[in-house]
Structure 1
Amino acid sequence: MRVHHLRMKAFGPFADEAVIDVDRLSEDGLFLLHGPTGAGKTTVLDAIAFALFGRVPGARGIKRLHSDHARPEDVPEVVLEATIAGRRLRITRSPEHLRPKRRAAGTTKVQAKATLVWVDGSGPDLTRLPEIGDAVVRLLGMSAEQFFQVVLLPQGEFARFLRANPDEREELLERLFDTERFGDLEDWLRDQSRASAAALAERMATLDRLAGQIAAVGGVELPTDPAMEWAEAALDAARETAQRTAESADVAQRELDRVHRTHDEASRLAAHRRRGVDATARLTALDARAGQLESAALALAAARRTATIAGVAEGHDHATAAADDAERDHRAAVDALADLPEGATVATQDVDAVEAAITRWNEESGRWEPLARRVSDRSRLVDEIARIDAQRNADDRQLGELQADLDAAPARRSAIVASIDAASAAGNELHRLEVEHARLGSITTALTDHATALRARAVADVEVLDARESHSRAREHLLDLRERRVAGMAAELAATLAEGEACVVCGSTEHPAPATDTAAPTGVDAAAERAAEREVTAAEERRTEAVSVTAALAERIANLEIVIDGASADAVAADVERTASAVAVARATAAELPRLQDSLLDLDGRVTLRRNEISEMAAAAAGREERLRSLTAERDRLDAEVAEATGGRIGVAERRRELAELATRAARVRDTLHSLVRARDRHTESAERLRKACAAAGFDDVGAARAAVATPTQVAEWERDLADAATARAAAEETLTDPDVRAAVDSAPADLEALGDELAAARSRRDVTANDAAVARHRVAELEVQVSQFWAAADGLEPVRARHAELAGLAELVSGRGQNARRMSLRSYVLAARLEEVLIAASARLRQMSSGRYEFVHSDAAGPRNRRGGLGIEVRDEYTGMVRAATTLSGGETFIGSLALALGLADVVSAESGGRVLDTIFIDEGFGTLDPEALDLVMAVLDELRSGGRVVGVVSHVEGLRARIPVQLHVQRTELGSRVRVEGAVGVS
């Protein structure tokens, strides 16, 4: 892969567009990427990684990529042009980010986007993220994790890899080399072992459960190791018990049947006797009610006779009510007519006089009709005059309001225009205030994190001191134990010496000064020494961890102080509060601009409308006044005519209403009088018909007939009582004629209570014996099933146990446990082979950079405290011929070793990816630990890399490299965001 061109915008610290011509930087094959801490050197590498894979390496992968220096609406974007596997392409990516909403306050999420364009025209362009990712991985032949390690060489991570324990190395190697199938095999064997263990445990549990059930059901003692003979003996004993209880149950059932027959016969006779006694008692009770029943029969017969006169009586009642109603109606009509002055004398006269008065009043009303029609027009005139007058008053008020609104319009317009100007200015100022507020917010967060980090640093410093003291004490204790043990071992050896025999240590036959028991400390053995060694190891790990935490906190504090840049918390808090208030005010003011512009348009429209309305109302008022004068003159003429006709005594309409009321009330008197006469005649006729009907039904008079009337409910009750009495007498007489009843009454009564007790006792004996027999049968059935299951479970146990032993041994072996002496899992074994390849390639680089002194040695020995082995890294020192741990290298040597590892890993992964050449690599930091001689050796290796056609980018802020590498990419940090410039022999851009 060769990078040609990189462009960034609103990405990380780069707010404005930053363009890097990598082809120009690559002309010499080696260039330096430098700049102050936090300027964005690593962001350049992040941009390349993001363009290819859509994410950035390591912990930086979780940070927000949109530049804090850019405007919120600016779209973060990276464009990378490169040649991969012989195909030139251009990738444009934009990460997920937030932008301001266009029509409301707040932000909205914008999804990540990407495009891949084949610059050489070798295929269709891609726009879907998964397709682009697959294409990049296919061309590179490596994953994102591999690319981050072999192209963007992170020296700090390889230094940690060099010093790491095997588990940590395994984690990195698994990300770089595909060992998933070996891990799947380990997991499969482990799962199979667990499944077989579960199956074996289930079989054992089933066997124990069945034995427990056999012991519980059979009532026998559970032996320590239950066998099939024990289970069969329990079943035989249960069968004997079942036979014995079945015989007892048969005897008890026969006795119960005999007692039951005796009790049933006695119960039958007692029931017949009770029936006879009950029938006799019912007949006696009916004889006592004979008089009452006879009275009910007579009343029922009389009530039935009244049915023939019911209709006539009802008609007479209606006629009586109608006569009373007619009398009341006539009296009310007379009183109503008498209430009128002219009707009092007419109200009590006969029909003819009333009819004459009605005619007289109607004729007089007719004479007033022509004048009444003229008077009705007056009401219309008065209503129209009042309506016009009210309209005039309303229009006058509205005209005043319109004129006042029109007069106030200029002042309101000036105020709105001023508010529009203020809102426009606030909108222009809002972005600057938001950027300033965001910057102050970042400083506030940094101040808080800085205080927290300082407190944590103080605690960490104490922890470092304590860890160092603990390590010193543990080491002194270990040395003391070793001295004591060595002394004790010398005494033991001396005790075995004999004069003239060779010493097992030195071989001498002379023993001039053997050690004595009194000179050797006691109580120290190998176990105590191993325990002390574990304490030293634990203390050393604690010390290393504490120092690492302190260093990390120091680095974090330094980075935070760069962000804070000397600002005080109080000043920043005041500025945050001030800018927050200013942002809120500016946002609220700017948000009013659309409403104010609409208000100005509305006001101008209202002014035009008001002017038109005032003109229209003035024209309408002139026509209305002319109409009002005409209507008033017509009303006055009509009033004069009415006054002349009536003499001013009463109005025409009032007199006509008075005459109409007199005629109406008189007609009511006439009509009610006719109705009263007819009602009285009908009442007399109905009374005569009722009298004749009562006589025909056998009643002396109407009163007797009415007294005999009964309600339907009473009649039904009499009929039901008489029928029930007859039915009860017939049933009682039939019962007393039954032969069984007569025989039972004549016989002596049996003692049912004694017979019941005997029956209950027999039934209880039968139930107990039957239950015992059923329990015994059920126990036999259960035991037969359980013994059969017990035999089957015992027969299938051994194959399951053998399979589990085989699977467990294999699972332990491939996972680095059990009989695996090297404590190396199958996956670790594969990774160890890959690590060995990496170390062979890295050793060639290391020998060159160390002037032939060092080379890597792969160790497959198990780790301390029985840890799994296979991934150990040691260093052979050719100066001493010794192989020692990689952790003993100095700082500069560690950097050289980690760089050699990184380059060796790049070679191996490149070979794994199909031999694709990585034409461009970046080495990130670590050169500050080298002395000048070591730096020369490293530079020689870099020269060798570029002489092979590769482009090497060194990322560092070490000043010494600026003199050694003339072509440089300088990242400059400014308040408005970072910038890049190319410096070197070809000029500055």
Structure 2
Amino acid sequence: MKILAIRLENLASLAGFHEIDFTAAPLADQGLFAITGPTGAGKSTLLDALCLALYGNTPRLRHAPNRDSQLSDVGDATLATADARTLLRRGCASGFAEVDFVGRDQHRYRARWAVRRARDRHDGRLQAAEQSLTDLDDQRLLTAQKREFERLLPERLGLNFDQFTRAVLLAQSEFAAFLTADDNARSELLEKLTATGEYSQISIAAYRRARDAKQIVEQWEARLADDLPAEPEARAELERHAQLAQGELEDVLRHAKRLDTRAQWHATDTKLREAHAEGGDRQRDAEDRWQDLAPARADHEWRRLLAPQRHRLTRQAELPGEIARLEVTHTQTREALEHAKVTHRTAAHERDQAEQALSQAETARQQAEPMLRQARDQAQRLATREHQLAELENTHTERRRQADELATQRRQAGEEQQRQRQQHDRWQATLRQLMGDHERLEDTRREAQRAHDRAAQRRLALGELESRWQEAHRADQALRTLKERLTEDERRLEELVSQGQAARRRLDDTDGRHRTILELVERSRAVRSESVAKLREGLQSGEPCPVCGGLDHPWRHHPPTTPESAQLAAQQAEEERQLTQAQQERDQAQQQRDDLLGQYRALEASLRQRRQDLEDAEHRGTKTRRALDDHPLHDELNAIDAAERNAWLAHQRQEAEATRAQQERTLNELTRAETELAPLEEALRQIELTLTQLDTQQSGLDQELASLAERLPPLRGERDAIAARLEDLLGDHASPDVWQRHLDARQDSARQVRDAALARLHEAQQNQQRLAQQARYEDDRLTGLREERSTLDRELTEWRGAHPELSDAALARLLAQSDDEASRQERALIDAEQARQQASATLAERRQALIAHRRDQELAERGEDDEALLGGEAEAKIQRLRDALAGEREALAPRLDTAQAHRDEAAHVLRDDDGRRERQRESQAKLEAARAEHRRWGSISELIGSADGKAFRRIAQAYNLEQLLEHANAHLATLSRRYRLVRGGSELGMLVIDGDMGDERRSVHSLSGGETFLVSLALALGLASMASGQLRIESLFIDEGFGSLDPQSLALAMDALDGLQAQGRRVGVISHVQEMHERIALQIRVEPAGNGASRVSVAMR
């Protein structure tokens, strides 16, 4: 992965468009560069633009509050402080960030993030941010959708946002905290830096699973205790009671069953009686229906007699109409035949005329064929001449246009030559002015470089002198402050000792007073019949009293009430109050003494630390004063009054900086003059060559134009002569093709007319033949129908003579009946007959059933016939039996309800107990399962579980620390072969092996600033390797507080950065430390330009 370019517009303090192109000189030629500028100028905004273009977010915004913190925007609109759109510069309508990079597939891509306000006005509402990804190799837009962009970008780049901010943007300050943290804090930091928080979550989940499993076990145990079944003796009693209730209910049910049997006999008797009555009604209805169908039976008989003659009578009625219709049709056919003969003669005449017209059209076409061939030849020659003339005229026009363009180019080249000549003369004059008295340009550059280096070295020395002087001054101030604080703490310690002695005395007084009150209360209570109360409590039933010898103890549980009891209760309450007050005073005194003791111990520990800090400060002061005395400019500083040293140092640094800046400007102007002159001279040579080439091309075009002008007139004359001959041949026709189409159309039209006439003639012939045949058929048909009518009239007259009782009206009515109507009438007759027979059979059957049912009850006297069972006496006896049954059933109903209630209650109690027993079995099984689950999760939780997740986190992060140290040592070997990192001291502890000290193991807390930077940088690069996997990271941006390093440590840091550059990485360092600016030649400068805006430039020192 490699960053190729960063572009941005209107972000924070960087107003307008800015571009940093790492593929163009000088950034393309240097592997190490510094991003410099004062605080707040916008150095970090460049890295914000890098992250915005790739991920739409920045590391700084990621830690900002999201919802609780709001910023006001235009109008009443607000933005969350974590919203990336807040980076849009105030007063701007739009802005963007854009990054070109080489992805993991070696393709070049461009990622863009853009935001704008509504209507592109500075006071419009902010719109949603837009993101797009483009493949630069294919010039293809991959996506402009935000969700698709978030998916594609990590795939093409090879890193997600967290990995990018650890592998490409290295924040070393996090690793300084990582080095000095304890094991728990280090595991949390390592978890955050390696994005392996799932181990803490697993640990917490294991702990919670074990806790939840334990709660489930306790819940099931409580549920079992709350739902116990009956004891075996109680269960047996419940079952015996249920059996008795069931026996009682069965007796009542047997009696009720006997009554139900009797009631069923009465119900059956009622049904049979009602059925017998219904059968009589149905028989009477069937007889009435049979009598109503007498006319239908007569019609049915006549239809039987008419059946053999029915078709003759029907045919006799149909024949007159059929003969009349056929006679009309035959007349029409004769008339159509005569008309068809006329049509046939007309079609034959039209056929002859069409044949003659076709012959004339063919003759005219044959006669025009020779002239048509001549016209085609002339038209072909004319087209050829027209084409040649058009090509020649186009060539002439194109050459004229080229001549005009060459003239324009010749004029522009001359103007450009004059402009370049003037610019060349100006730079020559500037270069001579810069050289002054020097004869050679190299001498001028060498002298300016030496002056620049002298000024830079003096400025660096002055900066180091100021740093040492300030450090010595700070050490003296810190020493004085520590002494004052030590004196104050000693005074405070003496006060605490005095307060502690007073608190001890108060504690002894309150403790003595509490013991005195307690002894008085105990003696008073002992006097108040304490032994009597104890003897009363010890009495046992049936045993003699030790005082009186009696076996009855009436006051054992309820002693008698005496007049002194109220006074005794009040006295006891007062004693309790005094005891409580004394105890509270004693507790307060004890708490005050403990508080003072805690303050004393804390202050004593603070005093020890103060004395140690004072000793360290005196040691540091001595060291800093010695370093100040060793500085080469110390004598100059001592010659200045102490009050004026700050001003003197600032003035000296300003003079050195001014001298260095002046010489740097001179060098830059020399370089620029040389850089500008070389392309100008080359441009002048190219312009002169271009002018010569343009003159040559102009001469050739003039000759070609003259030749073309000579060829055009003869060709136009030949074209006009051919056009005149062609016009004579064509006459009124526009072209040979039009003439040919006219002849073809005349012949085709005549042929179509002839074919149509033939078709009409053929159709007329067929129509005439069809009508003649139809006329003959109709003659034959009329003759046959008249003969059939005569025969039918004779035969039917004879049949009517044999049946004179059948009137013409009846015959007409019978013949008018349809077959369906006759079938329905016959079906009704059959149904009526069957209904009458079935009703008679049903009535007899139901009568026998009712007699048989009543015969079993002996309702009639012996010897009487069966009719007596259907009489009134039998009905009265049955009613008396029904009333007696109703009385018995009414008396039995309460007994049945009571027995069922007893049985149901006993069964309900048993079912409840059965349910509790079943629930006990199920709950016991679930309890065992819950206990097994608790044992399983308890075992896991014992290994890796904890409420805060640290148990498994420390195990997992120990492995991650091993991996991190392996990667870090690989990078540390290239930065400094002296050091190597290993685990030690604790589970997540780290030690440094010092190769120059015989592989001595050192604490990371003993490293100097430079050593800490090397180790931290190696750790950062190691984490970058872990984050990026197999992806090669070729661009790094390091943001580190280099200002805290001493000169020696700064030199180590610079050597480490040079080592990264030597590995083929492009490294960018963000810093405002001047010494680093002196060491790093290539700089991206972010300089304030006023009004809160900054400008970005790339320069070589």
Q: Normalising by structure 1, report the TM-score.
A: 0.45
Q: Normalising by structure 2, report the TM-score.
A: 0.41
